[in-house]
Chains A and B, each alone.
Chain A
């Protein structure tokens, strides 16, 4: 074991079993997978992306570029999990990624020997020829070789959720400055959310030996959290990553709820929060960067602060012979802590020569550089520029610290260069955000505490809260001086980006080939484009580019930082929106009734509608639909048409308003009458149609098509509020209030007479075609009756309050038995409207005008209405435009296909001969043949002409005759009967 006897914030009472590559191991509660692996002496955890080089654990946090593992089995498996961030749990199963054969003996390591050929741009240049090989051969092979983890290919059994949180102040990061901010805000009474990606709050304090106010840092963290937990106005959110900062103080947060113990919980595994914060404080700390030297990617080479944290927080012995390579004071703190813990520190190498060595009893070299390392699966030795060779199995490297500025840049902010600490610090910060602590480029705790206090006082007073009591924090002095980037390029195979295998050589090639702007360099070499988004590599890459271009690093600049800060699973973005939660379903008032009668349902928008009602013995849908049509036309049928949008229009100017929004005239519509209305867009294209009934001088009821109900309402509100703001018009959607049924067929009046209370007279004389009125049914239920017909039959639409719909269906079918009453679905409805030649959604497809639809004469020439002026454009109104007509196959046995195109007889089926298209087809049981509606040039003048209806998909050609669109009862005798 590589575990110290007593150190660390782990619960040694609670042993947790886990496995790595099948090997059974154990760790403790409080471990990450990485710390548990290191405790078992396991540095090698994977192979690199391109060259399949052995890779180890490099860091101890979310910046980890190398230690990506596959966690879980079967459908629960999840690839590319950073071993450094996942909290160890019992029975965790982890496997390494990206190797063929065993991890120690990967067959693809040959890529490493081929690396001279595999540098930047290699793929672009090599796999050019033959072109057809790319998709089928080269790409699959390259993808297989260069890869990360694997998906299970099965549906994810876990659930996810989303949510919304609101606060006065969002504190991002719970390190020293974050906790101090939280404490000040909590005591002031402000509503605070504290989010930190770690499962243990405290940030760097958990991994450092610090003194705060004469207490240890760790104790101060504990006490502070205890106090914070006592406040109702504080929400502590560990395991929560703020992954993006968006406009107006909106933040995206991913909260890990159940870690990866997927199988054990039916609760959401992760919750994606949208946090609305009036103000935010970014306390995201800093990430360490490496140094550039030959073979700096071997397992055992780690970031210095991480090595220290593994030792302090998790009680790990990172190696038997530890060496430290630093260019700043922080490396010496690692040396000191390791020595205190009893680890064997073989040498500290500092690039700086003019420093006072802060610790005793350690071998060190000043002003020296590491040149190269050796070792096969782990570092075994290093060589200095003076030729000294040092045997070592763990090299802690510190190249200085990069403030985690990411969230300050998500709204296009660009970081600035800070010469003093040789790092990028926040530039233009988003409105409402403050940055404190190491994230702002401050590295001394006392300074940080003082500055945080000042900034927090300002924020709290801006929010209208008063800072309460005194918080004075003092910490032990900790100097931080860092050397500038090296002035010469390191030699050998020097890794800049460990995850995407980008070396100094790749950057050189990119610059040679002209890709020397940072954005181009990034895309050509893939530097910083991996799942870690270059947290440990970007600034190093910029330093190399700055050397190669001989430009100061601030002039080289940075690439754009974009969300997410760390990867967010797609499952979390989807949240619960899968299965029945994907979108809401709207049910018609007769849904349950129809369900009990085995109706087949169809989705129309969000609605589920009965498509047909199969009877026992009916084997095909056509049998059912034909029967429904025939029986309705023979006697009477009923269809739920509730889904049509219903808009109540009231007001003194309601009549004028309808005259304005419809293309045809509504001004003279009498009370108690219904009229068909065609709605155009202002450019003359048909938008929607329906009927509107006038119940009173100042009260109309409009219907819209099912799918346009929402957009028509929106459009009418626009017309009302923006185009006619002085008119007295009021709109209300009543779609869901009224259950509406079409009752169609020669016996419809007789059937209605049975349910309508005696005082309502619906005889043909007093309630003729296109009449409407209030009636009472079933002993006093108030309903609305419209004598309108979509089917072409004697027909009514009856609207009654939704609450009675279920009972109504039971009763009317009881009553209707003597008329052989049947329910019919949307399919029969469609057949009957095509037989009648009524246009519907297929014809109002956003490309057709009133003229195309054969309704040109309806469009008002006199008054101003939406769409009439532009309808007069030549292209819309001219000769030879498309007209809606009917089509019937000359061979009655043939079946027409919607979407077919019309080609004149004897001409090839080519685009230039295309004369129009078939928009709707049906088998007409009345005519016993296939019929269709469609648009063809000057169709209304070509009745009797034969053309070819061509289906370009199967090349089928059917000869059709152009006819009137009114196939059935063209005189309309039935509906007036």
Chain B
């Protein structure tokens, strides 16, 4: 596979390390009273769709950025690649607007 890095252009997947579902960036915070269920869900409940999926990839042999890659798991088509930090701020804005 080739992952088009937002700045560095097309890069072979061998330069990257895969982590999984991009929802992992939304880790619950521990505040009293502690919501153990939220942590449980964060850790163990993931999406694993056959189709379009947002995933975390780390450009370990590159600029060391964590990327959110939108990929079709059936065709391997890559629809979007963005820095995790950008993705997070966009998602948080969206959530706070709701």
A198 CA / B28 CA spacing, docked (Å): 60
Chain B residues within 8 Å of A714, by CB: 17, 58, 60
A863 CA / B19 CA spacing, docked (Å): 26
* B93 at interface by CB-CB < 8 Å: no
Whether the Cβ atoms of B24 and A722 lie closer than 8 Å is: yes
A176 CA / B64 CA spacing, docked (Å): 47
Chain B residues within 8 Å of A864, by CB: 29-31
- From known contacts A247-B1, A247-B76, infer whether A870 and B17 are also in contact, taking CB-CB under 8 Å: no
- From known contacts A247-B1, A247-B76, A248-B1, infer whether A722 and B39 are also in contact, taking CB-CB under 8 Å: no
Residues of chain B from 24 to 66 with CB closer than 8 A to chain A in the complex: 24-25, 27, 29-31, 34, 36, 39-40, 42-43, 56, 58, 60, 64-66
Residues of chain A from 234 to 289 with CB closer than 8 A to chain B in the complex: 247-250, 274, 276
A523 CA / B58 CA spacing, docked (Å): 40
- From known contacts A247-B76, A721-B66, infer whether A869 and B2 are also in contact, taking CB-CB under 8 Å: no
Contact digits for A697-724, partner B, Cβ 8 Å, 1 yes 0 no = 0000000000000100010011001110
Interface centre among A247, A682, A721, A873 (most CB of B within 10 A): A721
Chain B residues within 8 Å of A725, by CB: 84-85, 88-89
- From known contacts A722-B25, A725-B85, A864-B29, infer whether A717 and B39 are also in contact, taking CB-CB under 8 Å: no
Which of A247, A721, A870 meets B65, CB within 8 Å? Answer: A721
Whether the Cβ atoms of A723 and B1 lie closer than 8 Å is: no
A873 CA / B37 CA spacing, docked (Å): 11
Name the distance in Å between A727's Cβ and chain B's nearest Cβ: 11
Chain A residues within 8 Å of B83, by CB: 721
Name the distance in Å between B66's Cβ and chain A's nearest Cβ: 4
A890 CA / B76 CA spacing, docked (Å): 61
Whether the Cβ atoms of A250 and B84 lie closer than 8 Å is: no
A210 CA / B71 CA spacing, docked (Å): 48
* A868 at interface by CB-CB < 8 Å: yes
Whether the Cβ atoms of B84 and A721 lie closer than 8 Å is: yes
- From known contacts A725-B84, A870-B39, infer whether A718 and B29 are also in contact, taking CB-CB under 8 Å: no
Chain A residues within 8 Å of B40, by CB: 870
Chain A residues within 8 Å of B76, by CB: 247-248
* A451 at interface by CB-CB < 8 Å: no
- From known contacts A723-B25, A725-B84, A869-B39, infer whether A718 and B30 are also in contact, taking CB-CB under 8 Å: no
Contact digits for A159-197, partner B, Cβ 8 Å, 1 yes 0 no = 000000000000000000000000000000000000000
Whether the Cβ atoms of B27 and A682 lie closer than 8 Å is: yes
Chain B residues within 8 Å of A717, by CB: 58, 64, 66
Whether the Cβ atoms of B58 and A250 lie closer than 8 Å is: no
Name the distance in Å between A873's Cβ and chain B's nearest Cβ: 8
Name the distance in Å between A339's Cβ and chain B's nearest Cβ: 52
Contact digits for A861-872, partner B, Cβ 8 Å, 1 yes 0 no = 001110011101
Whether the Cβ atoms of B66 and A868 lie closer than 8 Å is: no
A863 CA / B29 CA spacing, docked (Å): 10
Whether the Cβ atoms of A250 and B25 lie closer than 8 Å is: no
The residue of chain B having its C-beta at the shortest distance from the C-beta of A723 within the complex is B27
* A106 at interface by CB-CB < 8 Å: no
Whether the Cβ atoms of A247 and B56 lie closer than 8 Å is: no
Whether the Cβ atoms of B84 and A722 lie closer than 8 Å is: yes
Which of A248, A683, A718 meets B66, CB within 8 Å? Answer: A718
A250 CA / B30 CA spacing, docked (Å): 45
Whether the Cβ atoms of A722 and B2 lie closer than 8 Å is: no
Chain B residues within 8 Å of A863, by CB: 30
Contact digits for A643-684, partner B, Cβ 8 Å, 1 yes 0 no = 000000000000000000000000000000000000000110
Interface centre among A431, A725, A872 (most CB of B within 10 A): A725
Which of B2, B56, B64, B65 meets A250, CB within 8 Å? Answer: B2
Whether the Cβ atoms of B43 and A683 lie closer than 8 Å is: yes
Name the distance in Å between A414's Cβ and chain B's nearest Cβ: 14
Chain A residues within 8 Å of B25, by CB: 722-723
The residue of chain B having its C-beta at the shortest distance from the C-beta of A866 within the complex is B27
Name the distance in Å between A252's Cβ and chain B's nearest Cβ: 13
Whether the Cβ atoms of A722 and B60 lie closer than 8 Å is: no
A139 CA / B85 CA spacing, docked (Å): 58
Whether the Cβ atoms of B2 and A249 lie closer than 8 Å is: yes
Contact digits for B63-84, partner A, Cβ 8 Å, 1 yes 0 no = 0111000000001111000011
A868 CA / B58 CA spacing, docked (Å): 25
Chain A residues within 8 Å of B10, by CB: 248, 276
Whether the Cβ atoms of A722 and B88 lie closer than 8 Å is: yes
Whether the Cβ atoms of B30 and A869 lie closer than 8 Å is: yes
Residues of chain A from 824 to 870 with CB closer than 8 A to chain B in the complex: 863-865, 868-870
Chain B residues within 8 Å of A870, by CB: 36, 39-40, 43
Whether the Cβ atoms of B85 and A721 lie closer than 8 Å is: yes
Name the distance in Å between A648's Cβ and chain B's nearest Cβ: 14
Name the distance in Å between B28's Cβ and chain A's nearest Cβ: 8
A723 CA / B30 CA spacing, docked (Å): 13
A300 CA / B67 CA spacing, docked (Å): 61
Chain A residues within 8 Å of B36, by CB: 869-870, 872-873
A624 CA / B12 CA spacing, docked (Å): 48
Name the distance in Å between A275's Cβ and chain B's nearest Cβ: 12
Chain B residues within 8 Å of A248, by CB: 1-2, 10, 76, 78
Name the distance in Å between B93's Cβ and chain A's nearest Cβ: 13
Name the distance in Å between A573's Cβ and chain B's nearest Cβ: 15
Chain B residues within 8 Å of A872, by CB: 34, 36
4 A-B pairs closest in CB distance: A864-B30, A248-B2, A722-B25, A725-B85
Add 14 more A-B contacts to A248-B10, A682-B42 (CB < 8 A). A247-B1, A248-B2, A248-B78, A276-B10, A714-B17, A714-B58, A717-B58, A721-B83, A725-B89, A863-B30, A864-B31, A868-B30, A870-B43, A872-B36
Residues of B near any A CB (own CB < 8 A): 1-2, 10, 12, 17, 19, 24-25, 27, 29-31, 34, 36, 39-40, 42-43, 56, 58, 60, 64-66, 75-78, 83-85, 88-89
Q: Show 26 residue pairs from A and B whose CB-CB distance is below 8 angstroms, ordered by the A residue.
A: A247-B1, A248-B1, A248-B2, A248-B78, A250-B1, A274-B12, A276-B2, A276-B10, A411-B75, A682-B27, A710-B60, A714-B17, A714-B58, A717-B58, A717-B64, A717-B66, A718-B56, A722-B66, A722-B88, A723-B27, A725-B84, A725-B85, A864-B29, A869-B30, A869-B34, A873-B36
